[in-house]
Amino acid sequence: MTAVSTESLQGAEGRNGNYPGKGIGAPVGVAVLGMGTVGTEVLRLIHEFSSSLENRIGGPIEVRGVAVSDLTKKRDVLDNFPGITLTDNAHELVEREDVDVVVEVIGGIDYPRELVLSALKHGKSVVTANKALIAAHADEISDAANAAGVDLYYEAAVAAAIPVVGMLRRSLAGDQVQRISGIVNGTTNFILDAMASTGASYEEALAEATRLGYAEADPTADVEGHDAASKAAILASMGFHTRVTYNDVHAEGITNITADDIEAARLAGYTIKLLAICERLVDDEGATTVSARVHPTLVPNEHPLATVDKSYNAVFVEAEAAGRLMFYGNGAGGAPTASAVLGDIVGAARNKIHGGRAPAENPYAHYPVADFGDVPTRYHIDMAVVDRVGVLAEISRRFADQGISISAVRQEEHGDDSRLIVVTHASLERKLAAIVEELKTLDDVRAINSVIRLDG
């Protein structure tokens, strides 16, 4: 049995499990850092639900101050908080004696990291919706929270209102999670769904997503898979009790997906989704590694994730005892994200009133992160080949020489050439990538149109 340090779970000030509360009826001082869409919605909900929140917590929430970058901008929601401090000095706000909980909804990494570490050092519990920050610095921030004996909540960092972080942290705390796969970026799901339902090109679907507000003016973080990769790092860390960072996640986006790819997937009984896939892998010698990756994926139409449309998110979890679980809902937007943030504020505030701490991160397993080349997967390879007798046999032989088994083949006539689609059985990523490079060198292969991985 592996011994787990009490200090690693509770922090230097919590070795005796002594986290006294302020007492029933005491106010909980809250500071909000950032007043964009989410911060504004959080403040609106705090005001609207103030009475019921007080009953749930055991004391009132009192917003002490809000930190913004532009003090001249009119913010109507602040009219509900007369006398509140509006400041551009966030460091000063988080250090105030009358602040118990700091809510960080600024975004970015470096500046929020400074503020969050300062808040924790000064004994404030922290609630953040900042996926990039957690994916990059969860180890440092979690250690700081443990050392100070305070809470760190980040439910809103993954899939907004869908309670996947809490599920992994609490509901499945006694189980062993084997795999997490999900649609965790609404922008890319909207684009792929539009392409599938209307026949639009990627460029046309992106333009529509931008017009409707689903895509940012610069959509790079979404369409290149960076946003989903941050969330995959968090999910893998929580699910496998191992610290996985953004840099550990293999990420590919959807910018190369074409209408032809969508149609080929439909004919084969699949739907293309940008999936975050986190897996516990055990090799033939019994050694365990973990993998986290993001890429366009062919999902069988009968799988629940294939039906997730528009900008919705869904996370599919496979655990040893619980079996298969799926969580579905709005994964982005001001109101859903604010709902998750407010839930975390309630948890942190309740602990300030009644004492105690929420379950902390516990990366006791220390599993190594698998090299992406050693991850098993399947390929759907779409290629243009010379239309002559023997081509299929030659290509099949190349796969056999690499020890890769073919699951299905479809061949179609395309002018003077043929379109050949090969679907493999599971093999290591490095072997599948190598066969694709080998195919490119064959005189009979005119072009590799696309290579898309399969799930299931």
Residue ranges of the binding site:
33-40, 131, 216
Quote the tokens at residue 122. 């000064």
DSSP string, 167-222: IIIIITTTS-EEEEEEE--HHHHHHHHHHHHH---HHHHHHHHHHTTSS-SS-HHH
Q: What angle do CA 193, 107, 171 make, to 5 degrees?
A: 70
Look at the block and give the residue holding tokens 């990756």: 293
Q: How many CB atoms neighbour CB 269 within 10 A? A: 11
Interacting residues of 21 by C-beta distance below 8 A, sequence separation 6+: 351, 352, 353, 354, 355, 356
Q: Return binding residues for NADPH.
A: 131
Q: Return binding residues for NADP(+).
A: 33-40
Q: Return binding residues for L-homoserine.
A: 216
Q: How far is residue 93's CA from residue 83's CA, in Å, rounded to a whole number? A: 15
Look at the block and give the residue holding tokens 């007798």: 389
Q: Is the dihedral of CA 210, 340, 323, 378 positive or negative?
A: positive
Quote the tokens at residue 310. 């528009």
Interstrand relation of 85-87 and 61-67 (parallel, antiparallel or unpaired): parallel
> What amino acid positions are annotated as catalytic residues?
231
In three-state secondary structure terms, 407 is strand
- Whole-angstrom CA distances from 35 to 40, 48, 77, 174, 215 are 5, 17, 10, 38, 20
Q: Strand (E) positions, 43-173?
A: 61-67, 85-87, 101-104, 125-128, 152-153
Say if CB 396 and CB 177 are below 8 A apart: no
Q: Which residues make beta-bridge pairs with 274?
A: 296
